[in-house]
């Protein structure tokens, strides 16, 4: 079985092809991502209309490139998958409609994929090939951390996702981006903070760890963002963040990163102990953060648990995870109607995903 996936939920246009084998092994034939970060960086964030126009212009070329690089024709594709939400409506429509059109023209199934499910499944796409079988994913705790979402889920199997905790306000990636904007760092802010934090002293500023000791699995990062907002004016004579010296900037980035990382790691540990599971799969753009990866690895080693992380190229928005999710659903005969609409706020694990 060969599945073509399209991702266009926000500011990345992406196309990928995955292939199933008789043994259950999944091969990634190609994964192409065209980022719009340079386009939106000048505005400090994503402009929805610009994003959807850019998707429309880039997608035909990416589709051609993906098929040619895989030595594949549309007729040789067995199913077409696309992100149906959450995301920006106009952006989602570009990829969703294209996948539907190709499915209709080829007479093949169409699969609308939840973007968060794509992230959740992405750690199982690469490595551990023997476990990428028809019953994937195996039971585990999933930590999904991105610009718009921070979730802890008990995953029992494909489509069986029990919500354990979520962000009550700002997601981890959102907090990174907002604090970075306060410090006048380029968009997206998370990678910039991570890079500067490597040269900083995380103990210099005592920033809050919201909900760290609450007896639940929820997150809250708005208080950390507010603390940084009130701290910044005190660090220069004029209160202008442009006047921060380099070491102070690095120390503040390190302190922010340490606060976010500690909350995520402690909550993930609590979820492992609560469920008794010994596998933690972490995904989403924030899972590329170097400190988070180090601390999660150390925590899992202490807990006797296995840590499963996607490769760097699968942490941010990509079509490989969408094609893979589509493949797993197609394996068990789950397809979508061509009338299926996009949904900017779909449900996952019995709750509504909020932007």
Q: Which tens digits make up the pLDDT trace of 80-125?
A: 999 999 999 999 999 999 999 999 999 999 999 999 999 999 999 9
Q: Are residues 332 and 261 in the same domain?
A: no
pLDDT at residue 277 greater than cutoff 60: yes
The two tokens of residue 155 are 């995953």
Q: Are residues 271 and 147 in the same domain?
A: yes
């990416």: which residue's tokens? 62
Is residue 38 one of the residues assigned to a domain?
yes
Q: Residue 9 belongs to what domain range?
A: 2-126+313-341
Q: Which tens digits make up the pLDDT trace of 229-259?
A: 999 999 988 888 788 999 999 999 999 999 9
pLDDT at residue 351 greater than cutoff 50: no
pLDDT at 288: 95
C-alpha angle with apex 351: 347 to 353, nearest 5 degrees?
60
The CATH number of the domain holding residue 303 is: 3.30.420.40
Q: Are residues 151 and 292 in the same domain?
A: yes
How many independent structural domains does the chain possess?
2
pLDDT at residue 353 greater than cutoff 60: no
Q: Are residues 101 and 196 in the same domain?
A: no
Computed over every residue of the chain, the mean pLDDT equals: 92
Q: What is the percent of the chain where pLDDT is above 70?
A: 95
pLDDT at residue 130 greater than cutoff 60: no
Q: Are residues 147 and 122 in the same domain?
A: no
Strands 12-20 and 26-35: antiparallel
Is residue 354 one of the residues assigned to a domain?
no
Rounded Cα distance between 235 and 281, Å, is 38
Q: Which tens digits make up the pLDDT trace of 146-181?
A: 988 899 999 999 999 999 999 999 999 999 999 999
Average pLDDT of the residues in 59-64: 97
Average pLDDT of the residues in 328-339: 94
Q: Are residues 155 and 303 in the same domain?
A: yes
pLDDT at 349: 52
Question: Phi then psi for 338, rounded to 5 degrees?
Answer: -70, -15
Closest to 13 (Cα-Cα) out of 34, 37, 38? 34
Q: Are 29 and 19 in contact (CB under 8 A)?
A: yes
DSSP letter (8 states) at residue 282: E
Question: Phi then psi for 214, rounded to 5 degrees?
Answer: -70, 140
- Does residue 348 sit in helix, strand or coil? strand
pLDDT at residue 62 greater than cutoff 80: yes
pLDDT at residue 129 greater than cutoff 80: no
pLDDT at residue 135 greater than cutoff 60: no
């Amino acid at each position: 079985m060969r599945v073509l996936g399209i991702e266009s939920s926000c500011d990345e246009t992406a196309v990928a092809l995955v292939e199933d084998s008789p043994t259950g092994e999944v091969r990634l034939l190609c994964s192409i991502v065209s980022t719009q970060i340079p386009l939106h960086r000048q505005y400090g964030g994503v402009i929805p209309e610009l994003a959807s126009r850019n998707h429309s212009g880039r997608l035909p070329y990416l589709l051609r490139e993906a098929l040619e690089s895989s030595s594949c024709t549309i007729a040789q594709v067995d199913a077409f998958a696309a992100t149906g939400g959450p995301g920006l409506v106009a952006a989602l429509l570009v990829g969703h409609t294209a996948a539907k059109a190709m499915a209709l023209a080829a007479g093949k199934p169409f699969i609308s994929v939840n973007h968060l499910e794509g992230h959740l499944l992405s750690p199982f796409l690469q490595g551990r090939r023997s476990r990428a079988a028809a019953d994937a994913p195996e039971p585990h705790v999933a930590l999904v951390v991105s610009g718009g979402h921070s979730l802890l889920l008990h995953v029992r199997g494909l489509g069986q996702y029990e919500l354990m905790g979520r962000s009550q306000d700002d997601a981890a990636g959102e907090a990174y981006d907002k604090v970075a904007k306060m410090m006048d760092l380029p968009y997206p802010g998370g990678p910039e903070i991570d890079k500067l934090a490597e040269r900083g002293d995380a103990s210099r500023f005592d920033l809050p760890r919201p909900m760290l000791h609450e007896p639940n699995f929820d997150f809250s990062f708005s208080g950390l963002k507010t603390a940084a907002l009130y701290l910044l004016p005190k660090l220069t004579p004029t209160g202008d963040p442009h006047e921060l010296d380099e070491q102070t900037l690095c120390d503040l980035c390190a302190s922010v990163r340490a606060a976010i990382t500690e909350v995520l790691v402690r909550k993930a540990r609590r979820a492992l102990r609560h469920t008794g599971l010994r596998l933690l799969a972490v995904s989403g753009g924030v899972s590329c953060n170097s400190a988070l990866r180090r601390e999660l690895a150390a925590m899992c080693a202490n807990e006797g648990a296995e840590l499963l992380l996607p490769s760097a190229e699968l942490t941010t928005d990509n079509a490989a995870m969408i094609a893979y999710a589509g493949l797993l659903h197609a394996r068990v005969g789950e397809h979508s109607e061509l009338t299926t609409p996009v949904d900017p706020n779909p449900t996952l694990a019995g709750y509504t995903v909020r932007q």
